[in-house]
Amino acid sequence: MAGDKKLIIGNWKMNLGVHESSLHLHKLADSVKTHRNVEVVLAPTMLALQTLSLQVNHRQFKLAAQNFYWRDHGAYTGEVSATQLRGIVSYGLVGHSERRHVFHESDKDTRAKVQAAIRNGIRPVLCVGETASERAAGETRDVLHDQLIGGLANITSDELPEVIVAYEPVWAIGTGNNALPTDVTEAIVSIRSQLKHLYGAKAANAVQVLYGGSVTADSAADYLALHEVDGLLVGGASLDAHAFTTIVEKAFQSAKGDA
């Protein structure tokens, strides 16, 4: 694991309008405690980012973009760039399985986005993970390898510690079929060893690696207890203030245990 700080990211996906997002933020602000060794990040709809950035207590929560385009400016109708998000978000999701599978984002896109995020002072959260059929065919390791190489090709070892990797098996996202802790350990050990192979131990060990896939208030502690897991990327459960608050508390307890 990288350091003793846990990272919990709530991905609200395409849920909650601007007003509802503000209300959800207020609920979370009342219930989520601030802990020195837990960083809590919220990824609302793009539309609400600006409003939330003015309302949020930046010591309590950081903001993340769920997506962005890799060019900085220009004639790209409908897109929002990392340059435009500068100063509003601290993190940006890249290569989420819904982007890869619904919007056909390629490794070439993820690579350009990881680089754009770094160039604009935003920490990219590179999501990687195999589909059910890739897992059944024994291809998990190769898929993770290709997605890591594909996403990180333009990143130097000095830049690497700014990158966060989220292991998100596609079959576990939004399905309730969360991965077994042993599967998560195996996949993250493989991710870490591939990072070491590419960048050397020092840079690779500085990368935070998260698990994501149907995490709930009940299952969070099992993943956070794994030495390999530096935090969680939470989708559905992040829309439930009580569940998300519990997950943050579990992260605090596990970070305390590691300290």
- List interacting residues with ligand PEP (CB under 6 A): 11, 13, 96, 168, 173-174, 212-215, 233-236
In the complex, minimum distance from the CB of residue 252 to ligand PEP, in angstroms, rounded to a whole number: 20
Q: How far is the CB of 54 from ligand PEP (least distance, A)?
A: 25
Nearer to ligand PEP, 112 or 173 (CB): 173
Contact in structure between 106 and 145 (CB atoms under 8 Å):
no
Phi/psi at 81 (5° precision): -95, 165
Closer by beta carbon to ligand PEP, 112 or else 215: 215
DSSP letter, residue 180: P
Pairing outcome for strands 62-65 and 91-94:
parallel
Q: Which of 130, 134, 168, 228 is catalytic?
A: 168
We find the least distance from the C-beta atom of residue 183 to ligand PEP, in angstroms, to be: 15
| Minimum distance, C-beta of residue 228 to ligand PEP, in the bound complex (Å) | 17
Which residue is catalytic, options 24, 35, 39, 96? 96
Whether 101 contacts 129, CB under 8 Å: no
By beta-carbon proximity to ligand PEP, the closer residue of 214 and 245 is 214
Between 110 and 203, name the residue whose CB sits nearer to ligand PEP.
110
Q: Is position 96 annotated as part of the catalytic site? A: yes
Chain position carrying tokens 């509003």: 88
Q: Could you tell me the CA-to-CA distances from 94 to 20, 164, 182 in Å, in that order?
A: 25, 10, 25
E strands in 99-216: 123-128, 164-167, 208-212
H or E stretch including 93? strand 91-94
Residues noted as catalytic: 96, 168
